[in-house]
Amino acid sequence: MKKIEEYVRSIPDFPEEGIIFRDVTSVLQDADGLALAIDLMQEKLKGVEFDLVVGPESRGFIFGVPIAYNLHKPFIPIRKKGKLPCETVSIQYELEYGTAELEIHRDAIKEGQRVVIIDDLIATGGTNEAMVKLIEGLGGKVVKTVFLMELSGLKGRDKLKGYDVESVIAYPGK
């Protein structure tokens, strides 16, 4: 049986020289790789009591929905601004080059609900920090965040101090 790392395609010098791009699409394109990724991420939730799974557009949907389905939990999407049809709350956050904005439906999370965040990658942590603020702003409590991959050299965990953060694969660089 292959290890999950063997399914991740590494592309040197992309998007710029000196960077190794970790491509999740090679995991998605292989039925065994996809199943293994979901199973390993779901394993990180053993013993965790929670009410909802939250995932950001779009790869958080890919991994979060099957986990929510398997564990019979609701899935709550966090999307880019302007993509959700009902009343939303939003947060703007800094990117390396500029800003971005995320939204969630105002009625998606109730006061006191325990939330797990699922996503494919933690890099600088900015998106993850913004999601935590959105969830907590609605009264939810983030009890765990699970990522398929982590780029440890970018120190994204630093923005999630005090939270239970786990990744299936940790790469030391950027």
Q: Please, what are the domains in the chain? A: 48-171 (3.40.50.2020)
| Mean pLDDT along residues 135-163 | 97
pLDDT surpassing 90 at residue 1: no
Report the percent of the chain where pLDDT is more than 70: 99
CA distance 53 to 72: 10
Task: Classify residue 65 as exposed, middle or buried by CB count within 10 Å of its CB (0-12, 13-18, 19+).
Answer: middle
pLDDT at residue number 37:
98
Catalytic residue among 57, 59, 114, 166: 59
The tokens of 62 are what?
């890919």
96, 101, 106, 111: which is the annotated catalytic residue? Answer: 96
Is 96 one of the catalytic residues? yes
Res 96 pLDDT > 80: no
Q: How far is CA 51 from the centre of its chain?
A: 17
- The model's pLDDT over 3-20, given as tens digits with 9 standing for 90+, comes to 999 999 999 998 888 888
Give me the mean pLDDT over the 97-121 stretch: 95
Q: How confident is the model at residue 95 (pLDDT cuts 50, 70, 90)?
A: confident
What is the rounded distance in angstroms from the CA atom of residue 154 to the CA atom of residue 101? 21
- Say how many C-beta atoms besides its own lie within 10 A of residue 93's C-beta: 17
Distance in angstroms (rounded) separating the CA atoms of residues 78 and 68: 15
DSSP string, 37-73: HHHHHHHTTTT---SEEEEETTHHHHHHHHHHHHTT-
**136 noted as active-site residue:** no
Name the percent of the chain lying above pLDDT 90.
90
pLDDT at 130 over 90: yes
